[in-house]
Structures are given as C-alpha cells and as structure tokens.
C-alpha cells in the first residue's frame, strides 16, 4: 500500500464510522434499559450498545479491505471527534443560560449533554484501546488464516476488542455511582449483546467486504505493517 493510493469509498466509511461513534456515545451512554427474557428474567443493558457495535463493524471492514494502517487513521479520527464533542459539551453546559430559557430546559440540556470527567475518560480510553485491539487481532488473524474464514476474524476480533472496551468503560465510568452489581450486570449484558450483534451482522459484513474488495481492487495483508498505534502514515 502506498501513501498516494486513492480509494473510492474509504472516506465515506471513515465519515460513517465517526458519525456512528459520536451518536452512540452522546445519545445512548446515559440510559440503561431492560427486557424480560424467557428462562432468564430481566436482562439489563445500556441503550448505546444497540448502535455502538456498528463502529466495530466498520473497523473490521476497514482493516480487512484497506489494512491496519488505514484503519489506524480512522480510529484516530474517531478519537479526535470524541475529544471535540466532549469539549463542546462541557462548554455548552457550562455557559450561563439566557433569561428566556427556563430552568427546566437548562436542566434538560445539562442532563442530556453533561458528562462527568469519569465518563469522558472512560469513553476515550475504552474506545482507543478497544478499537486498536480489534484491528490488530483481525489483521493478525488474516495472516494466520491466509485470508480465509472471514467470519472467524470478525467475530474473534470483536470478542477481544469489545472485552477490552467493556472492562475499561463501565468500571471507570460508573463504579461507585452505580452499585457494583449493576456495573457488572450491565457490563456483562452489553458485552454479550455486542458480540451477538457482530454474529448477526456477519452475512452483511461478507457482502460489504466483497463489494469493497471488488470496487477498490484491494485486499490488503499486513505482512510488513508497523503496528505502532501512534503512527499515522500508511506506508
């Protein structure tokens, strides 16, 4: 892969990745929901988990088609967008409200967009480490399987990446605020939803990856890649 290589769909996937990441973190992170399952009872989960796995799906597609180095650039783009969103949310909720805005409206804005330093730290750390673990594992598994068994790579990398994400995010963000039982319950529940989501999405992943490989004339193998996550070049 050369640095001056241009792809038709790479930028669109990057934009979709960042959009999903921002929406999942800003809209879904604060609410916990539950459903009653047969033979199990109440299943507790964070609502953001219904959409956040899309970022891992995009990460799998990027690494599989374009390679780890280009996926690394997208992860940094997502990381930067989360930092900006957190700073903007802090500024917006910190500014005094105009007299035309009711206290109830101001409280609603602060509730929706206000983020504690713990949630910001947890989101940034968990995302960064989880996404890089996901991309690294998939790239290495592609080499080990010689490009076969895509389903094994996507599910296996999600097992690893989402485990890192969940183990970091929920304890940092909520331990001490929620009960330990609730933290563990939501963390485990969300983890299995994320992995199950990836399994269900496997047929779609095959279709998207196949289309992109044909359209881009690319099926990258990271044989000589420098896996240092702090590099931004794609050579």
| CB count in 10 Å sphere of residue 54 | 18
| CB count in 10 Å sphere of residue 20 | 19
Task: Give the pLDDT score at 29.
Answer: 62
User: Which sequence spans correspond to the domains of the chain?
Assistant: 10-216
Task: Give the pLDDT score at 234.
Answer: 78
- The pLDDT tens digits of the residues spanning 34-85 come to 888 888 788 777 677 778 788 889 999 999 999 999 999 999 999 999 999 8
Report the C-alpha gap between 182 and 191 in whole angstroms.
Answer: 14
pTM for this structure?
A: 0.87
Note the CATH architecture for domain 10-216. Answer: Orthogonal Bundle (1.10)
CB of 8 within 8 A of CB of 31?
A: no
Task: Give the pLDDT score at 110.
Answer: 79
* Residue 42: its H or E element: strand 41-46
Handedness of CA 234, 22, 10, 160 (dihedral sign): positive
Task: Give the pLDDT score at 235.
Answer: 63
Q: What are phi and psi of 39, to 5 degrees?
A: 70, 0
Task: Give the pLDDT score at 30.
Answer: 65
Task: Give the pLDDT score at 214.
Answer: 97
Report the C-alpha gap between 200 and 56 in whole angstroms.
Answer: 13
In 3-state terms, what secondary structure has residue 235? Answer: coil
What's the chain's average pLDDT? 88
Report the percentage of the chain scoring pLDDT > 90: 53
């Amino acid at each position: 892969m050369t640095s001056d290589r241009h792809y038709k769909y790479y930028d669109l996937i990057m934009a979709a990745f960042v959009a999903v990441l921002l929406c999942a973190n800003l809209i879904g992170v604060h609410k916990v929901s539950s459903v009653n399952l047969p033979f199990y009872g109440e299943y507790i989960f964070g609502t953001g988990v219904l959409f956040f796995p899309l970022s891992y799906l995009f990460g799998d597609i990027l690494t599989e088609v374009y390679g780890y180095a280009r996926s690394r650039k997208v992860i940094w783009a997502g990381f930067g967008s989360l930092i900006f969103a957190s700073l903007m949310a802090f500024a917006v909720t910190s500014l005094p409200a105009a007299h035309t805005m009711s206290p109830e409206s101001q409280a609603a804005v602060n509730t929706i967009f206000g983020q504690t330093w713990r949630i910001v730290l947890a989101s940034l750390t968990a995302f960064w480490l989880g996404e890089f673990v996901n991309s690294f594992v998939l790239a290495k598994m592609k080499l080990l399987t010689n490009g076969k068994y895509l389903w094994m790579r996507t599910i296996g990398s999600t097992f690893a990446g989402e485990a890192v994400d969940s183990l970091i995010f929920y304890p940092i963000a909520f331990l001490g605020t929620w009960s330990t039982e609730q933290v563990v319950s939501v963390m485990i529940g969300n983890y299995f939803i994320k992995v199950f989501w990836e399994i269900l999405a496997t047929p779609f992943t095959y279709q998207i990856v196949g289309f992109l490989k044909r359209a881009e004339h690319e099926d990258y193998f990271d044989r000589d890649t420098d896996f240092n996550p702090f590099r931004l070049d794609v050579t």
